Amino acid sequence: MTALLVAFLVSTIAAATPLLLAATGELVVEKVGVLNLGVEGMMLAGAIAAFATANETGVTSLGVVAALVAGIALALLFAVVSLTLQANQTATGLALTIFGRGFSALVGAGYVGIPAPTLPKIHIPLLSDIPVLGPVVFGHDILVYLSLAILAVVAWCIRSTHLGLILRAVGDSHDAAHALGYPVVPIRYAAVAFGGALAGLAGAYMSLAYTPLWAQDMTAGRGWVAVALVTFSAWRPFWLLIGAWFFGALMYLSLYVQALGVAVPSALLSALPYIGTVIVLVLISRDARRIRLHRPAMLGRPFQSRA
Amino acid sequence: MLKIEPRGYESKFWRYASPVLALLLTGATSGLIFAAMGRPPGLTVYTFLIAPLLQQDGFEALVVKAAPLIMMGVGLSLAYRANVWNIGTDGQFTLGAICGGGMALAFPDAPAWAIFPAMIVAGAIGGMLNGGLVAWLRIRFNANEILTSLMFAYITQYLLVYLVTGPWRDPQGFGFPQTALFSDDALAPKLIEDTNVHIGVVLAPLIAIALWFMLEKTLLGYQFRVLGQATRAARFAGFSENRLVWIAMLISGGLAGLAGMLEATGTLGQLTTTLSPGYGFTAIIVAFLGRLNPLGVIPAGLLLALTYLGGDAAQINLGLPNAVTGIFQGILLFYLLGCDILLLNRFRWASTQAPTRAKAAQ
C-alpha cells in the first residue's frame, strides 16, 4: 500500500511538472495582457532542441539550455507578429503551434527511437532515504525543484514587488501604463520571451526526464492543458500548482488503470485527462463574473501608442 | 527609423496583395531553410510546389486533397468572422467519419440509393454534434471554445482508436487496426472513372458559393459580419450573439463532419486510426489565406492541398521528412497575419526627431 502511494505521489509530481512550467510561463504572459496560444508549439520545439543537443553532446544541461533558447526564439517570433505587427493574437498563437509542430517533426525526424541521456535524479544522503517522504520530496530531478522555485518567485514577484505592479498595470490598462511612462511593448516582449523560456523548459522535461525519448507530437496536448490551467487558476499562481497536480494525478491514473488491466479499453482511458480538462473548464467558467474579475482586462488586445 | 503609421483607411490594393506578398515571403523563407539544411533551395521549392502538379494524375490528386480543406475552411471563415474560434475541426472531421462510416458498417447490404445519402446525413450530424456541444458549453457555461473544441479533437481521436482497434475491428483484417471495407454502394460516387475524384470535389466549391451568398447577401450573413467587427453594435442592434454562436459552430462542425465522412468513403473506403493528417490546423490557414471569404477559400484550399502533395514529393524525391509541410504552413500563416498590417498602416522612414506638425496636431 505504501509503495503504491509513493508511486502515485512521485508520478503525479513528475506528470505535473511540464504542465506547471508551461502554465507558469503562460500566466506571466497573460498577466501583461497577451494571449499566446503557441505553448504547445514552443514545448515541442523545446523538447526536440533538448533531446537533439543532449544526444549530440551527451550533456543534459546543454540540452536544457538549448530548450530555453528554442522556446525564447519561437516566442519572439510570436511577439514580432502579434505585438509589433499587431496581428490577431489568437491566430498568431495558432501559427506558432503549427510552426512548432512542423519544426520539431522536421528536426526530430532523425532522432526517432534513439535513447538520450536522462536528467539524473537528485540524491541527498539521509534525506532521500527516509521512507515515503524521501522519494516523494527529495528524490526528483533538478527541473522538478526548479519548477516549484520559479512558481514561488513568480507568485512573490507579481504579488509583492514593484515589477509585479508594473506587469499588472500593463495587463490591466496598457494606456494608463503607457501614460505613466512604462514601455508597454518592450515589457510585453520580455514577458512573452519568459513564457517561451518556461515552455521550452517544459519541453526539455518531457524529452529528457518524463519520457526520455523523442516522438512526434510527444507533448500530446499538454501545452493546451497548460493554457487551460491558467484560466482554471483564475490567474493566481497558487491555484496553478493545485491544478497541475490534479492533472498530473489524472494522467498517472489513466496510465495506472491501464496497467492494472481493468476491462475499460486503454484508448478510452487515455482520453481521460482531456475529458477532465473540459469538465474542469466548464465548472470554472460557469461563474462568468469571477472570471471577469480576475482576468487581465487587456488580455488579447493589441496596444498601439498614439504618440 | 522604420515607423508604422496608420493610413486612416483600408487599402484596397493590399487587401489582395498582402496574401500574395505573404506567399512570396514564405517561398523565400522556406528556400533559405532548405539552403540551411544543405539542400539546393531552388530545386526543393520546385519539387515542393510545382513538380506535384506536373505528375500524372497530379491535378486529380490536388482536387481530392483540396475538397475537405475547402469544406472545413469555408465553415471556419464563417465562424471566425463572428469571433467564434473553432480550432477543433479535426475532432468534428473524425466524428463525422465515425458516424458516416458506422452507418456503412452497420448496413453493408443497404441499397445504393439509400445508404450514401444516409451516410452524408450521419456524417454531417456527427460533426454538428461535436460542434454543437462546443457551442452549448460556451453559451451555457461560458467555457472557452478554443480549448474545449481542441480537447474534443483529442477525445474523438481516442474514440476512433478505440472503435477501430476494438468493437469495429475487421475480424478478417489479420489484426490490423482497421474496419472492414465499406460495401461498393457505400463509397462516395466517383466523378471520373478509375481515379479518386469523388463527389466531394464538386460539393466543396458549391458549398463555398452557397455560404458566400449567405454571408454577403442575407440578413443572417450581415449579422455575422457585424458581430465580428463591432460586437457592441451587434448587441445594440439586438442581434442574438448566442444564436450566431450556435449557427457558426453547427455549420463549421457539420461541414467538417461531412468532409470527414467523404474522406473515409471517398479515398480510404474504410476507417483506420489515422484519418486526418492535421487537416484541422491546415483548415485554419486555409480560412485565413482566403481572407475569411468563402470564395477566397477555394484557391486557398487548393494551395494548401499542394503543400501536402509537395511534402510527399519532397519525401520521395529528395528524402526530406514530410514534416516540411508543417513548417511551410506555419511560416505561411505567420506571414499572412503579419502582412495584414499593411491594410491599415504603412511603413515610413521617419527621423527620431520631433514629430511633424500634422502628427503633433492629432
Q: Torsions phi, psi of A88, nearest 5?
A: -55, 125
- For residue B342, give the C-alpha cell: 499593411
Task: Look up cell 543532449; give the residue.
Answer: A54
Rounded CA-CA distance B274/B279 in Å is 11
pLDDT at residue number A304: 77
Rounded CA-CA distance A155/A82 in Å is 26
Does residue A64 belong to any structural domain of this protein? yes
pLDDT at residue number B361: 45
Mean pLDDT of chain A: 89
The pLDDT tens digits of the residues spanning B304-352 come to 999 889 888 888 888 887 778 888 889 999 999 988 888 888 887 766 5
Select from A19, A36, A30 the least CA-distant residue to A90: A36
Interfacial B residues in 6-65 facing A (CB < 8 Å): 6
Residues B319-345 as b/e (b if ≥16 CB within 10 A, e otherwise) read ebbbbbbbbbbbbbbbbbbbbbbbbeb
pLDDT at residue number B352: 57
Is the Cβ of B324 closer than 8 Å to some Cβ of chain A?
A: yes
Tell me if B129 sits within 8 A of B261, measured CB to CB.
no
Report residues of chain B scoring pLDDT below 70: 1, 350-362
Rounded CA-CA distance B30/B36 in Å is 10
Asked if A94 lies within 8 A of B281 by C-beta distance, the reply is yes
Kindly list the domain boundaries of chain B, sorted by start residue: 40-319
Task: Look up cell 507530437; give the residue.
Answer: A217
Tell me if B289 sits within 8 A of B72, measured CB to CB.
no
Does residue A120 belong to any structural domain of this protein? yes
Strand partners of residue A121: A141
- Fold for domain B40-319? ABC transporter involved in vitamin B12 uptake, BtuC (1.10.3470)
Smallest CA–CA distance from A276 into chain B, residue: B151
CA distance A69 to chain B (A): 18
pLDDT at residue number A193: 97
B331 contacts in chain A (CB < 8 Å): 99
Q: In this structure, which amino acid lies at residue B143? A: A
Task: Look up cell 521617419; give the residue.
Answer: B350
| Degrees to nearest 5, angle at CA A184 with A182 and A186 | 105
Rounded CA-CA distance B125/B128 in Å is 5
pLDDT at residue number B68: 95
- For residue A288, give the C-alpha cell: 462568468
Rounded CA-CA distance B149/B167 in Å is 26
Q: Which domain holds residue A216?
A: 2-294
Mean pLDDT of chain B: 87
Coil, strand or helix: which one is B220?
helix
pLDDT above 90 as % of chain A: 50
Task: Look up cell 455549420; give the residue.
Answer: B251
pLDDT above 90 as % of chain B: 41
| Degrees to nearest 5, angle at CA A183 with A178 and A187 | 120
Crossing angle between the packed helical segments B241-263 and B219-229, to the nearest 10 degrees: 110
Q: What is the rounded average pLDDT of the residues A196-222?
A: 91
ipTM score for this prediction: 0.88
- B356 vs A30, more confident: A30
Rounded CA-CA distance A287/A111 in Å is 46
Residue of A37, A44, A94 to mutate when probing chain B, most B C-beta within 10 A? A94
Does residue A303 belong to any structural domain of this protein? no
Could you give the dihedral angle defined by the CA atoms of residues B240, B244, B245 and B249, in that order, rounded to the nearest 10 degrees? 160
**Number of neighbouring beta carbons within 10 Å of residue A242:** 14
pLDDT at residue number A53: 93
Does residue A256 belong to any structural domain of this protein? yes
- For residue A291, give the C-alpha cell: 472570471
The beta-carbon neighbor of A281 closest among B143, B321, B334 is B143
User: What is the 3-state composition of chain B as percent helix, strand, coil, each rounded to the nearest 5?
Assistant: 70, 5, 25
Q: In this structure, which amino acid lies at residue B291? A: R
Q: How big is chain A by its Cα radius of gyration, in Å?
A: 19
Smallest CA–CA distance from A38 into chain B, residue: B330
B323 contacts in chain A (CB < 8 Å): 102, 105-106, 109, 216
Is the Cβ of B275 closer than 8 Å to some Cβ of chain A?
A: no
Chain-centroid distance of CA A53 in Å reads: 21
Given a cut of 50, whether residue A7 has pLDDT beyond it is: yes
Given a cut of 80, whether residue A110 has pLDDT beyond it is: yes
Asked if A109 lies within 8 A of B150 by C-beta distance, the reply is no
CA distance A281 to chain B (A): 6
Tell me if B297 sits within 8 A of B287, measured CB to CB.
yes
Crossing angle between the packed helical segments B58-81 and B294-318, to the nearest 10 degrees: 140
Query: Who contacts A177 (Cβ-Cβ below 8 Å, separation ≥6)?
Result: A166, A169, A170, A184, A187
- Number of structural domains chain A divides into: 1
